[in-house]
Amino acid sequence: MSAALPDFRRAQRGFSLVTLAVVLAIVGVLLAGFLRLYSVSIQKEHIEIARQRLKDARTALTNYVITHGNLPCPAAPVAEKNAGFDCAGADKPPDGVIAYGSEVSDQIWIGVLPAAELRLDAAEARDAWGNDFTYAVSRALTLPDTLARSPL
């Protein structure tokens, strides 16, 4: 009789496959919930970073207008295309910057935020996801001393 007892105990040891499947399913549900909360918190953090960078860009644009009397021209998405470009006397935008409108004075130029002119780091001219901030400006507002006389 004592020989049958150890065989009985061996058969009862460990977890069944059903028990393991239930435990793994519960762990999976908990892990999915945690990952969802984590991704939401990361998204909120990215949104806050983008808001702060937009505030910094607004401040830099305001300082630029106070100093120069006009708004800067948009930069080309590829920085090398903008090197040495003087938009004050230009009748067309630099390569990579889009112009809408037929008359030069009525045109809207669309490019990216000119970080170098605004004295911003390259990271400050991008959102938290790594995309450049789009910057559009009326061509007339980029001419010298345009805003110095404006009653804005």
Neighbours of 56 (CB within 10 A): 15
| Structure confidence at residue 49 (pLDDT) | 95
State how far the alpha carbon of 72 is from the alpha carbons of 2, 24, 109, 125, in Å: 94, 58, 11, 14
Q: Which residue has the tokens 């435990």?
A: 23
Distance CA 109, CA 137 (A): 5
85-140: per-residue pLDDT in tens? Answer: 677 777 788 788 888 887 766 889 899 999 888 999 988 999 999 999 999 998 88
| Structure confidence at residue 134 (pLDDT) | 93
Percent above pLDDT 70 for the chain: 82
Helix (H) or strand (E) holding 60: helix 17-68
State yes or no: pLDDT of 8 exceeds 80: no
The SS3 assignment for 96 reads: coil
CB 111 within 8 A of CB 75: yes
Distance CA 59, CA 31 (A): 42
Amino acid identity for residue 33 in this structure: G
State yes or no: pLDDT of 72 exceeds 70: yes
User: Residue 79: which pLDDT band, with cuts at 50, 70 and 90?
Assistant: low
User: Residue 2: which pLDDT band, with cuts at 50, 70 and 90?
Assistant: low
30-62: per-residue pLDDT in tens? Answer: 999 999 999 999 999 999 999 999 999 999 999
pTM: 0.70
Of the CA atoms within 13 Å of residue 57, those in its CB half-sphere come to: 23
Q: Which residue has the tokens 């938290």?
A: 128
Neighbours of 55 (CB within 10 A): 10
